């Protein structure tokens, strides 16, 4: 029987006979001669594992020749030279966990130690029955680190050389399910590399409507055939690209724990593709029709109207592509959120396998998973396989929320009319769907993204539309306006997020009262947080919308009240440690604010002597936005209160009463002017926080900050005490 020789520079020659079940016999085309790059093994050859003089060590290993291994002999390749390691890891006060990605996952128990043997290889293409399959999900040429950690009890006083011989002779690489059966008791086998993991199956999609008005509404309002939303099932395939580690651990005779762990110190990427039926128009198989089925109160009529509209094939294809793009992005965000929020040391995917009761389908599912496709492991009950942890299972079984922004729906009434006479776009940062009229579509359409909306332009248009919609929400009980809730959104995608930029994004959460101070501070030691998406939203129903404009007694608020709320929002968003902390001065100093109002923007340079021009520009922008907003809110509040008072005097008057229509026309004219003069700051976090302050934080609020190195999220329910 062939043996492996282990040598070092001091003349050590250790002959090792591979065990019959070892991967060295099963997969290696040739057995190597291994040479230790240190002499520690010779010097400690006479020791047993329990002796205090024997401390932990690490030694490199050189291979004497190039070797190929794996199914068909070409799954991995090991080059000659220093591409291996031998380690002794003792349980000490300083070392209780295995190193690398395993740190924190597996603990070295007292009275035990680990001997580890590892090789560094390059991934290849498996042949034979696995032809074309990337081994472990790691692409050709990528580095693969394969390690075995064998546990030894110290009280048995095992000689060090015997422990080394046993660890190498029983070396196991988990290429397939059968290899898990060969995993020695007390052994942990790991495979580490950068690659892709694939999953597919069905997922729950919750489509939520956000009906928004434009400035000029018809009178009377059309019947609105829109619901708050609903849940539908979609088919999807997702791909997770990251550095990960497969960990197979013998936990009991005949039982193995198999997990996939992400290296939390590295970035990850998600790509999702939603599946849908093939349709040349609108019906029961395309994704847009499915969404209409849950967000329309007259789905059959809406679908029939879309079919009668006879839209050109290119417009139909554009709508379907936009919807698919939006849902793909929502899936990516949902799964990224689960992966990014997972605690350090927790598995992305973890299964417990009872080898004795595996069915052929179970073995096939494990084999596919070890090649990088975990779909079958998530497809349903498999004999002998128990799911312990899965970020995909949490994602797809939860409600992946798709916001359907209906810009101008109060003008058109039906989704079909709005869609056929306007456009359907996907917002690329958050994956929100936008259905809007042609004029608005032309304002927000992206020139860089097919079927997409420009994030910044859309954000400002939606902020304008929200302010108009909030006023009409406050009139619901009087004029019979729709009773659906509406969102005030801030959303942004930031590339190469710096610590300062991340702090600004987290400040939004603290300004909304969602993050504690500690949660609003970025982790130290990260110079670049990568591509980060932030979405903050406050949801207003009729009572909370009315609270934006009227005091608890129904009286309108004065403009100076809103000015103070707007100044307070600046204080919440800008800390005294920020580079632009000078923006806090007008918010803190009432006398300074009075001077600013007296002199106007032209006189600000004298009030802020020595302040750099960019910062003076920021102060001027803050002031202009606050004054515009205060006047707009106070004016809308007066007109809203006038309508309420009129109804108090004429409780049984018809909705077409000339006096009421005059009041309504005055309000519409005011809102049209508000929209025309809307300051761009209202589409920034300041606008969101100012409105939240105006409602006394009585509305539901949420925030999600998600990137490859940081995920933070929080929600606030409707606060009944504040509303009352």
Is 274 within 8 Å of 235 (Cβ atoms)? yes
Bridge partners of 200, per DSSP, are 237
Name the nearest CA neighbour of 688 among 459, 443, 457: 459
Residue 130 has a pLDDT of 47
Q: What is the Cα–Cα distance from 8 to 656, expressed in whole angstroms?
A: 99
Burial class (CB in 10 A: 0-12, 13-18, 19+), 267: middle
Is 611 within 8 Å of 645 (Cβ atoms)? no
Tokens representing 132 are 């074309």
Burial class (CB in 10 A: 0-12, 13-18, 19+), 481: buried
Residue 661 has a pLDDT of 79
Q: What is the Cα–Cα distance from 718 to 500, expressed in whole angstroms?
A: 31
Q: What is the Cα–Cα distance from 607 to 600, expressed in whole angstroms?
A: 11
CB atoms within 10 A of CB 90: 19
Tokens representing 1 are 């029987």
What is the side-by-side strand order in the sheet with 700-706? Answer: 486-494, 532-540, 700-706, 711-716
Q: What is the Cα–Cα distance from 199 to 31, expressed in whole angstroms?
A: 36
H-run or E-run covering 689? helix 685-694
For the packed helices 613-649 and 559-573, what is the interaxial angle rounded to 10 degrees?
Answer: 140
CB atoms within 10 A of CB 608: 18
DSSP 3-state of 625: helix
Per-residue pLDDT reduced to its tens digit, 175-218: 999 999 999 888 999 999 999 999 999 999 999 999 988 766 66
Residue 435 has a pLDDT of 95
**Could you tell me the maximum CA-CA distance found in the chain, to the nearest angstrom?**
107
Residue 611 has a pLDDT of 94
Q: What is the Cα–Cα distance from 472 to 469, expressed in whole angstroms?
A: 5
Bridge-based pairing of strands 187-212 and 400-407 is parallel
Residue 157 has a pLDDT of 95
DSSP 3-state of 193: strand
Per-residue pLDDT reduced to its tens digit, 550-577: 998 889 999 999 999 999 999 999 988 8
Is 409 within 8 Å of 401 (Cβ atoms)? no
Tokens representing 120 are 């560094």
DSSP 3-state of 694: helix
DSSP 3-state of 96: coil
Is 54 within 8 Å of 47 (Cβ atoms)? yes
Name the nearest CA neighbour of 436 among 459, 418, 415, 451: 418
Task: Tell me the C-alpha to C-alpha distance, in Å, between residue 610 and each of 366, 504, 579, 582, 615.
Answer: 68, 25, 15, 11, 10
Buried b (16+ CB within 10 A) or exposed e, 220-257: ebeebbbbebbebebebbbbbbbbbbbbbbbeeeebbb
Q: What is the Cα–Cα distance from 318 to 120, expressed in whole angstroms?
A: 48
* Residues in the chain where the model's pLDDT stays below 70: 1, 125-134, 215-222, 277-281, 283-285, 344, 476-483, 719-724
Burial class (CB in 10 A: 0-12, 13-18, 19+), 174: buried
Q: What is the Cα–Cα distance from 116 to 138, expressed in whole angstroms?
A: 23
Rg of the chain over all Cα atoms, to the nearest angstrom = 32
Identify whether 220 is preceded by a cis peptide bond (ω within 30 of 0): yes
Q: What is the Cα–Cα distance from 664 to 220, expressed in whole angstroms?
A: 10
Q: What is the Cα–Cα distance from 656 to 651, expressed in whole angstroms?
A: 13
Q: What is the Cα–Cα distance from 38 to 60, expressed in whole angstroms?
A: 7
Domain borders along the chain are: 4-173, 195-204+232-243+255-400, 454-723
Is 403 within 8 Å of 487 (Cβ atoms)? yes
Residues whose CB falls within 8 Å of the CB of residue 561, separated by 6 or more in sequence, listed in order: 630, 634
Name the nearest CA neighbour of 192 among 141, 155, 138: 138
> pTM here?
0.89
In DSSP notation, 98-127 reads -SGGGTTTSB--TTEEEEEEEEEEEE-B--
Tokens representing 421 are 């006479």
């Amino acid at each position: 029987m062939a043996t492996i020789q282990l040598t070092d520079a001091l003349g050590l020659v250790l002959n090792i006979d591979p065990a019959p079940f070892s991967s060295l016999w099963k997969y290696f085309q040739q057995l190597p001669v291994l040479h230790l790059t240190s002499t520690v093994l010779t010097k400690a050859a006479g020791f047993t594992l329990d002796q205090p003089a024997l401390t932990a060590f690490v030694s490199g290993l050189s291979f004497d020749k190039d070797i190929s291994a794996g199914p068909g002999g070409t799954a991995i390749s090991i080059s000659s030279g220093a591409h291996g390691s031998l380690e002794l890891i003792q349980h000490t006060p300083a070392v209780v966990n295995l190193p690398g990605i395993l740190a924190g996952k597996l603990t070295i128990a007292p009275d035990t130690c680990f001997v580890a043997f590892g090789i560094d290889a390059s991934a290849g293409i498996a042949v034979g029955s696995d032809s074309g399959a990337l081994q472990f999900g790691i692409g050709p040429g990528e580095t693969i680190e394969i390690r075995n950690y064998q546990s030894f009890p110290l009280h048995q006083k095992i000689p060090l050389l015997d422990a080394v011989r046993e660890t190498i002779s029983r070396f196991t690489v988990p290429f397939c399910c059968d290899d898990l059966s060969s995993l020695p008791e007390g052994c942990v086998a790991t495979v580490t590399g950068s690659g892709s993991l694939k999953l597919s199956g069905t997922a729950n999609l919750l489509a939520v409507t956000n009906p928004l008005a434009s400035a000029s509404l018809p009178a009377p309002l059309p019947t609105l055939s829109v619901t708050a939303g609903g849940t539908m099932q979609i088919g999807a395939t997702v791909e997770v690209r990251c550095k990960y580690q497969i960990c197979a651990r013998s936990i009991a005779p005949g039982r193995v724990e198999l997990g996939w762990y992400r290296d939390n110190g590295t970035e990850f990427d998600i790509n999702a593709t939603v599946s849908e039926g093939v349709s040349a128009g609108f019906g029961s198989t395309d994704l847009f029709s499915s969404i209409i089925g849950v967000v329309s109160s007259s789905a059959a009529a809406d679908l029939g109207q879309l079919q009668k509209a006879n839209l050109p094939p290119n417009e139909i294809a554009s709508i379907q592509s936009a919807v698919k793009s939006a849902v793909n992005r929502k899936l990516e965000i949902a799964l990224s959120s689960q992966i990014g929020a997972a605690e350090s040391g927790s598995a992305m995917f973890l299964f417990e396998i009872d080898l004795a009761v595996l069915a052929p389908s179970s073995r096939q599912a494990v084999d596919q998973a070890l090649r990088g496709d975990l779909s079958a492991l998530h497809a349903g009950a498999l004999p002998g396989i128990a799911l312990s942890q899965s970020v995909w299972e949490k994602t797809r079984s939860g409600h992946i929320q798709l916001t359907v922004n209906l810009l101008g729906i109060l003008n058109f009434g039906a989704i079909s009319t709005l869609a056929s006479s306007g456009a359907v776009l996907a917002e690329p940062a958050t994956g929100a769907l936008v259905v809007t009229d042609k004029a608005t579509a032309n304002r927000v359409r992206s020139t860089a993204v097919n079927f997409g909306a420009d994030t910044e332009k859309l954000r400002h248009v939606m902020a304008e539309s929200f302010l108009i919609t909030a006023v009409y929400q406050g009139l619901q009980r009087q004029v019979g306006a729709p009773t659906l809730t509406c969102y005030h959104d801030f959303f942004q995608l930031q590339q190469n997020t710096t610590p300062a930029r991340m702090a600004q994004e987290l400040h939004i959460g603290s300004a909304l009262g969602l993050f504690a101070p500690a949660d609003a501070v970025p982790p130290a030691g990260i110079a670049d947080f990568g591509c980060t998406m932030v979405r903050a939203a406050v949801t207003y129903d009729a009572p909370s919308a009315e609270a934006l404009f009227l005091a608890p007694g129904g009286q309108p608020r004065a403009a100076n009240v809103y000015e103070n709320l707007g100044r307070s929002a600046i204080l919440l968003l800008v800390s005294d440690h920020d580079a632009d902390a000078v923006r806090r001065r007008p918010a803190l100093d009432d006398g300074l604010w009075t001077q600013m109002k007296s002199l106007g923007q032209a006189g600000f340079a004298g009030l802020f002597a020595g302040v750099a021009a960019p910062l003076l520009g920021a102060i001027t922008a803050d002031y202009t936005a606050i004054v515009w907003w205060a006047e707009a809110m106070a004016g809308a509040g007066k007109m809203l209160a006038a309508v309420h008072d009129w109804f108090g005097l004429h409780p049984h008057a018809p909705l077409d009463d000339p006096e009421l229509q005059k009041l309504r026309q005055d309000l519409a004219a005011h809102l049209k002017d508000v929209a025309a003069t809307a300051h761009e700051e209202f589409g920034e976090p300041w606008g969101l926080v100012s409105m939240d302050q105006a409602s006394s934080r009585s509305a539901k609020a949420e925030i999600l900050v998600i990137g490859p190195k940081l995920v933070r999220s929080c929600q606030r329910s409707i606060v009944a005490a504040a509303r009352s």
